[in-house]
Amino acid sequence: MNGNIIEAEDNPLKSYGRQRFTDIHCHCLPGLDDGPDTMAHAVGLCRMLAEEGFTTVVATPHQLGRYDDSNEAAMVRESVDGLNKTLINSGIPISIVPGGEVRVDERICRLLESDRILTLADGGKYLLLELPYQVLIDIEPLLIELASMGIQSVISHAELITPLASRPEMVRKWLECSNHLQITAASLVGDLGPEVKKAALNFIESGRAALVATDSHNTKLRRPRMRAAYELISTRFGEDLANLVCIENPSRIVNGQNILSVPLYEQQKENQ
């Protein structure tokens, strides 16, 4: 598995070993949602992401839900272009690509066809879906419809959706419908409390979560924590799994490649 991971050159901002990350869930665009409110704050967040070891970041402003009729695809692409130009002028070696965190909605497929909401990296292959935290909605019909369009879905911050922990059969059914689960780095390291950390670790250990992302919004309370999450996964479950969920699979999302399945931790130990 490590042979599939391309080692990047040293980060000119700060050295953190040889890992180079891709973030598939980040609220880094200025003034669009609950991320940075100014370009200066956006640049500060991107600088922190670069220092963590990120080279590519998918900007995922909220779409639909309370952001219905705002943050449409054209606006997001324009904002990404503006931020990239500023980062180049600021000497920050990180590339931003368009995406969105799309609130679950019965109109999603139609809105994709009319180019109003975005897939991850604007690649037409993966869609980042946001579900309610406290109410479990069976999204299997939507997943099937998306799959018929050649689109795989990624459930954002699955560890925060409280009912999922008690419904493993539903999660299993979703995973069979070209669906993937994303866990937030800050959750894994305990920033959101012990119960959320427990849920996040369980998703990783059980092999149900294939991706780790930052879901970062700023440089203070909701900052990137990928380096710490990577080290925690490496220590508890092995470096191969950390490389898979933190480096390889996020990179595959951006490159439009199929995500690799995550082996159960017990199976990993048996193969060692």
Domain range for 222 is: 17-271
Residue 37 has pLDDT above 50, yes or no: yes
- pLDDT the model gives residue 100: 98
Task: Specify if 1 maps to a domain.
Answer: no
Task: Specify if 2 maps to a domain.
Answer: no
Task: Specify if 108 maps to a domain.
Answer: yes
Task: Specify if 87 maps to a domain.
Answer: yes
Average pLDDT, the chain: 90
Sign of CA dihedral 148, 248, 60, 159: positive
Residue 10 has pLDDT above 60, yes or no: no
164-216, pLDDT tens digit by residue?
Answer: 888 888 999 999 999 999 999 999 999 999 999 999 999 999 999 999 999 99
Task: Specify if 140 maps to a domain.
Answer: yes
The Cα–Cα gap between 132 and 148 comes to 24
**5 vs 263: which has the higher pLDDT:** 263
| Region for residue 196 given its phi and psi (left: phi exceeds 0; alpha: psi -120 to 50; beta: otherwise) | alpha
27-37 mean pLDDT: 97
Which CATH number fits the domain that encloses residue 233? 3.20.20.140
Q: E-strand spans in 34-178?
A: 54-59, 62-63, 95-98, 101-103, 126-130, 152-155
- pLDDT the model gives residue 259: 95
Report how many domains make up the chain.
1
The Cα–Cα gap between 208 and 17 comes to 28
- pLDDT the model gives residue 12: 36
Residue 85 has pLDDT above 60, yes or no: yes
Task: Specify if 7 maps to a domain.
Answer: no
Residue 16 has pLDDT above 90, yes or no: no
- pLDDT the model gives residue 166: 84
Task: Specify if 10 maps to a domain.
Answer: no
The Cα–Cα gap between 32 and 18 comes to 33
- pLDDT the model gives residue 18: 56
pLDDT band at 264 (very low <50, low <70, confident <90, very high): low
The secondary structure element, H or E, covering residue 199 is helix 194-205
41-54, pLDDT tens digit by residue?
Answer: 999 999 999 999 99
Task: Specify if 5 maps to a domain.
Answer: no
Residue 127 has pLDDT above 90, yes or no: yes
DSSP state of 93: -
pLDDT band at 69 (very low <50, low <70, confident <90, very high): confident
Residue 271 backbone phi and psi in degrees, to 5: -85, -5
